[in-house]
């Protein structure tokens, strides 16, 4: 387990507890008191990529450790970025956030509930629905977005509160009892209720419970026998600080309060050198737009990275539950909203797992079989964002593949209709009028690929049928068509599974054994398009969902697909701003941004807690190796008799 209490050893390691403590101390001396200010995050201000690579290539010059803090001033109603030199012990820069708002903090999220419970207007709205006990109220704050029709609140930091009710039990699932047609606008700085939207008709609050703990389920299955995963000699990976060595893989594991799990300097050791593949890979942004036009659901969308700090909402993972086998954990060092540092234990889980057959062939002439089993390294984390739980899993395979998988689970954000009606934009969940509105999840991953170096280009590939003629006598010929994408605008593309579209990042300066540029292929594995209109607020603010592929030249500071501060931002930030110049992306250091979509039409089986749904993509070597790189794996052993499977 990584001890984040110790000082860091690598230039890109996240700030340690000691460094966070020192950064906050310096800020306190600069006038950032506890009562007036809220911290949304304190993290490493990453050095320029060129400087990091210079250090890795043997430069004797060290890199300064600088902390970046985002702080809300609740008196002046402003927010600022502070940059703190840990080497010099001073604040070296301060920048005001002019457009948008920082992510929400936990005290702000909890504050709306206590204020609302004491408000006579809110009490009257709940009384219309037969609810008088305010201790049973749940209020989930949702970001307000920017729809251009609430200009009277310009400059305020506010949220839209949606309401649920518990049925009296302390651990009751309040999402079983949504309050329809009621929403509250709440100023987080002034703790003021700006507006209560109490719409007609008054829809009865669904009463049927939706609890899912063992005592609520009834008789549990008794025919499930133990399944033990053991590695008597320990795991095959080695860890040195943030550096992980496994098979031929070399990578660093990091954590960000905004992005969560971050992978750095991923490469393949061929015995002579470590060949670079991925300088930095992480979730850049995600958004969940709802498709129900009902009064309180139409504006339900949230940027879980840029509005809610997905990383800071990560879970502490549990052996035997979240992770199974011989586990190694990485802790995360964070600060809370008051600037107090703390350690999130077991924020990242790493282990090996069997993944079935990697390659095999039965020679029917000789009767002999050669088979090798696949083992993969798993690096994962989970974050809970209100009702939803998201797992982010990176898999590293022995044949050079890298897979990214999102696991979606948790509880539906529910609504209510009159009993006996059928929702058009959702799925009825029980007979009391409870329903799940239709919605989508979009995840954008920023992949700073360095395939055998920095000089990279990207090629679009797809299949095409040959035209009929003498060269295609039986009309069955087809080929792979390759097109170099030369500019940022050319690279804005959609998936096309019917033509097998993939994208290949190559290094034209490095060739493989057959004289072709080495490369890695981005392979989609299920995706969906956005149904939001081109002129909609969500399309303006989350433009990244309109294309599955974006490519930019690597530029320090261009990190987030929807911009630095999408909260209450009118739109146009992030990728549309980055790509506005239509820069060249040929033979240069490029960043691939991949948007992964999941379409969720709820079903009864998703209630009261949904089984995991999956969304994924693959980074696959394509000419990076001269042949199958997993030929050298040993034969598997049948453990019961100790014989090799291929003998």
Task: In whole angstroms, give the CA distance from residue 441 to residue 547.
Answer: 14
Same domain, 110 and 73: no
Q: Which of 71, 48, 74 minimizes the C-alpha distance to 61?
A: 48
Q: How many domains does the chain contain in total?
A: 3
**Does residue 637 carry a pLDDT above 90?**
no
Task: In whole angstroms, give the CA distance from residue 135 to residue 166.
Answer: 9
Mean per-residue pLDDT of the chain: 95
CATH of the domain at 322: 2.70.98.20
Same domain, 299 and 384: yes
**Does residue 62 carry a pLDDT above 90?**
no
DSSP state for residue 518 in the 8-state scheme: E
DSSP state for residue 102 in the 8-state scheme: P
| Paired strand residues for 44 | 67
Query: Does residue 291 lie in a domain region?
Result: yes
Candidates 82, 328, 388, 390; catalytic one: 388
Residue 388 among the catalytic residues: yes
Q: Which of 41, 73, 96 is the last residue of a domain?
A: 96
Run of H or E including 380: strand 368-385
DSSP state for residue 134 in the 8-state scheme: G
Task: In whole angstroms, give the CA distance from residue 432 to residue 418.
Answer: 8
Task: In whole angstroms, give the CA distance from residue 405 to residue 617.
Answer: 7
pLDDT by residue (tens digit) across 578-588?
999 999 999 99
2-16, 193-207, 388-402: the lowest-pLDDT one: 2-16
Run of H or E including 108: helix 106-117
Query: Does residue 232 lie in a domain region?
Result: no
Same domain, 139 and 288: no
Going by pLDDT thresholds of 50, 70 and 90, the confidence category of residue 34 is confident
Query: Does residue 3 lie in a domain region?
Result: no
- Residue 116 phi/psi, 5-degree rounding, is -65, -40
Which residue shows structure tokens 């792979």?
480
Q: Which of 497, 552, 551 minimizes the C-alpha distance to 524?
A: 497
Same domain, 287 and 313: yes
What is the per-residue pLDDT for 639? 64
What is the mean predicted confidence (pLDDT) over 44-64?
84
Query: Does residue 533 lie in a domain region?
Result: yes
Query: Does residue 237 lie in a domain region?
Result: no
Same domain, 88 and 125: no
Candidates 146, 198, 292, 304; catalytic one: 304
**Does residue 479 carry a pLDDT above 80?**
yes
Query: Does residue 519 lie in a domain region?
Result: yes
Residue 617 CB partners (closer than 8 Å, separation 6+) = 403, 404, 445, 522, 523, 524, 525, 594, 596
What is the per-residue pLDDT for 60? 47
What is the per-residue pLDDT for 35? 87
Query: Does residue 478 lie in a domain region?
Result: yes
pLDDT by residue (tens digit) across 513-530?
999 999 999 999 999 999
pLDDT by residue (tens digit) across 218-240?
899 999 999 888 999 999 999 99
Q: Which of 217, 250, 272 is the last residue of a domain?
A: 217
Helices 120-127 and 106-117 cross at an angle (nearest 10°) of 70
Instruction: Check: CB of residue 440 under 8 Å from CB of residue 597.
Output: yes
Tell me the two tokens of residue 226.
Answer: 């133990």
Instruction: Check: CB of residue 537 under 8 Å from CB of residue 566.
Output: no
**Long-range pairs for 114-120: beta carbons < 8 A, 24 or more residues apart:** 115/186, 115/191, 115/193, 116/161, 116/184, 116/186, 116/193, 119/193, 119/196
Q: Which of 96, 130, 156 is the last residue of a domain?
A: 96
106-110, 327-331, 401-405: the lowest-pLDDT one: 106-110
What is the mean predicted confidence (pLDDT) over 582-603?
98
Instruction: Check: CB of residue 307 under 8 Å from CB of residue 159.
Output: no
Query: Does residue 164 lie in a domain region?
Result: yes
What is the per-residue pLDDT for 628? 97
Alpha-carbon distance values, 472 to 468, 498, 500 (Å): 5, 21, 21
DSSP state for residue 548 in the 8-state scheme: S
556-581 core/surface letters (b: 16 or more CB in 10 A; e: else): eebbbbbbbbbbbbebebbbbebbee
What is the mean predicted confidence (pLDDT) over 619-634?
97
Alpha-carbon distance values, 321 to 64, 213, 324, 407 (Å): 40, 15, 7, 15
Which residue shows structure tokens 């490095």?
510
**Dihedral sign of CA atoms 22, 28, 29, 31 in order:** positive
43-77 core/surface letters (b: 16 or more CB in 10 A; e: else): bbbbbebebbbebeeeeeeebebbbbbbbbebeee
What is the per-residue pLDDT for 646? 66
Same domain, 210 and 78: no
Same domain, 552 and 628: yes
Q: Exposed (0-12), middle (13-18) or buried (19+): which is 362, by Cβ within 10 Å?
A: exposed
Same domain, 297 and 202: no
pLDDT by residue (tens digit) across 485-503?
999 999 999 999 999 999 9
Tell me the two tokens of residue 542.
Answer: 């989350």
Going by pLDDT thresholds of 50, 70 and 90, the confidence category of residue 59 is low
pLDDT by residue (tens digit) across 93-147?
999 999 999 999 999 988 999 999 999 999 999 999 999 999 999 999 999 999 9
Instruction: Check: CB of residue 381 under 8 Å from CB of residue 394.
Output: no
Same domain, 128 and 185: yes
CATH of the domain at 31: 3.10.450.40
Whole-model pTM: value is: 0.96
Going by pLDDT thresholds of 50, 70 and 90, the confidence category of residue 2 is very low
Same domain, 328 and 301: yes
What is the mean predicted confidence (pLDDT) over 625-629?
97
What is the mean predicted confidence (pLDDT) over 338-349?
97
3-state secondary structure 238-299: EEECCEEEECCEEEEEEEECCCEEEEEEEEEECCCCEEEEEEEEEEEEEECCECCCCCCCCC
Same domain, 76 and 175: no
Tell me the two tokens of residue 506.
Answer: 């190559």
Pairing, β 158-165 against β 137-143: antiparallel
- Residue 605 phi/psi, 5-degree rounding, is -70, -10
Rg (CA), the chain: 26
Maximum distance among all Cα pairs of the chain, rounded to whole angstroms: 85
Segments forming the whole domain that contains residue 88: 17-96
What is the per-residue pLDDT for 261? 98
Residue 29 CB partners (closer than 8 Å, separation 6+) = none
Same domain, 58 and 153: no
Residue 304 among the catalytic residues: yes
Instruction: Check: CB of residue 506 under 8 Å from CB of residue 500.
Output: no
Residue 40 CB partners (closer than 8 Å, separation 6+) = 70, 71, 72, 79, 102, 103, 104, 105, 309, 337
Instruction: Check: CB of residue 430 under 8 Å from CB of residue 418.
Output: no
């Amino acid at each position: 387990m990584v001890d984040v209490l110790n000082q860091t050893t690598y230039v890109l390691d996240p700030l340690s507890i000691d460094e966070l403590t020192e950064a906050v101390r310096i800020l306190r001396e600069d006038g950032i008191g506890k009562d007036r200010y809220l911290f949304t995050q304190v993290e490493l201000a990453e050095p320029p990529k060129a400087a990091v690579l210079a250090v890795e290539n043997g430069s004797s010059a060290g890199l300064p450790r600088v902390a970046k803090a985002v702080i809300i001033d609740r008196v002046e109603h402003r927010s600022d970025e502070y940059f703190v030199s840990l080497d010099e012990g001073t604040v070296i820069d301060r920048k005001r956030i002019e457009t948008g708002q920082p992510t929400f903090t936990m005290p702000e999220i909890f504050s709306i509930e206590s204020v609302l419970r004491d408000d006579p207007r809110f009490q009257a709205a709940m009384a219309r629905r037969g609810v008088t006990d305010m201790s049973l109220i749940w209020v989930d704050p949702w970001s307000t977005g920017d729809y251009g029709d609430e200009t009277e609140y310009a400059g305020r930091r506010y949220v839209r509160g949606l309401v649920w009710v518990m049925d009296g039990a302390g651990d009751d699932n309040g999402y079983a009892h949504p309050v329809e047609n009621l929403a509250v606008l709440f100023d987080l700085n002034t703790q003021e209720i700006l507006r209560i939207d109490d719409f007609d008709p008054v829809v009865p609050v669904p009463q049927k419970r939706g609890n899912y703990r063992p005592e609520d389920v009834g008789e549990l299955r008794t025919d499930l026998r133990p399944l033990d995963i053991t590695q008597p000699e320990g795991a095959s990976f080695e860890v040195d600080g943030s550096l992980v060595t496994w098979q031929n893989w070399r990578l660093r594991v990091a954590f960000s309060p905004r992005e969560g799990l971050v992978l750095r300097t991923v490469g393949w050791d061929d015995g002579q050198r470590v060949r670079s593949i991925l300088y930095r890979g992480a979730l850049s942004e995600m958004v969940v737009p709802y498709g129900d036009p009902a009064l309180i659901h139409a504006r339900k969308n949230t940027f879980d990275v840029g509005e809610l700090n997905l990383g800071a909402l990560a879970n502490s993972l549990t052996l035997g539950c979240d992770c199974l086998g011989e586990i190694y954990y990485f802790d995360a060092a964070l600060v809370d909203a008051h600037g107090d540092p703390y350690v999130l234990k077991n924020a990242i889980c790493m282990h090996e797992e069997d993944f079935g057959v990697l390659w095999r062939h039965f020679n029917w002439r000789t009767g002999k079989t050669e088979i090798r089993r696949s083992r993969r390294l798993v690096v994962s984390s989970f974050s809970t964002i209100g009702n939803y739980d998201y797992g982010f899993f990176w898999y590293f395979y022995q044949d050079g593949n890298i897979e990214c998988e999102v696991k979606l689970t948790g509880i539906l954000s529910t609504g209510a209709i009159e009993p006996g009606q059928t929702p058009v934009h959702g799925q009825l969940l029980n007979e009391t009028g409870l329903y799940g509105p239709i919605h989508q999840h979009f995840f954008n991953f920023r992949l700073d690929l360095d395939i055998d170096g920095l000089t990279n280009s990207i090629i679009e590939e797809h299949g095409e049928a040959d035209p009929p003629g003498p060269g295609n006598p039986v009309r069955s010929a087809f080929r792979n068509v390759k097109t170099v994408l030369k500019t940022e605008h050319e690279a804005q593309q959609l998936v096309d599974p019917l033509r097998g579209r993939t994208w290949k990042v190559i290094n034209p300066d490095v060739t493989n054994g057959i004289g072709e540029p080495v490369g890695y292929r981005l392979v989609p594995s299920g995706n969906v398009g956005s149904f939001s209109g081109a002129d909609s607020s969500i399309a303006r603010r989350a433009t990244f969902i309109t294309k599955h592929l974006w490519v930019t030249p690597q530029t320090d500071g261009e990190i987030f697909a929807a911009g630095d501060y999408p909260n209450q931002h009118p739109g146009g930030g992030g990728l549309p701003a980055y790509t506005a110049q239509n820069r060249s992306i040929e033979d240069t250091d490029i960043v691939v941004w991949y948007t992964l979509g999941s379409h969720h039409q709820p079903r009864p089986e998703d209630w009261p807690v949904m089984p995991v749904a999956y969304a994924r993509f693959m980074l696959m070597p394509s000419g990076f190796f001269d042949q199958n790189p997993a030929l050298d794996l040993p034969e598997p052993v049948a453990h019961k008799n100790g014989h090799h499977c291929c003998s």
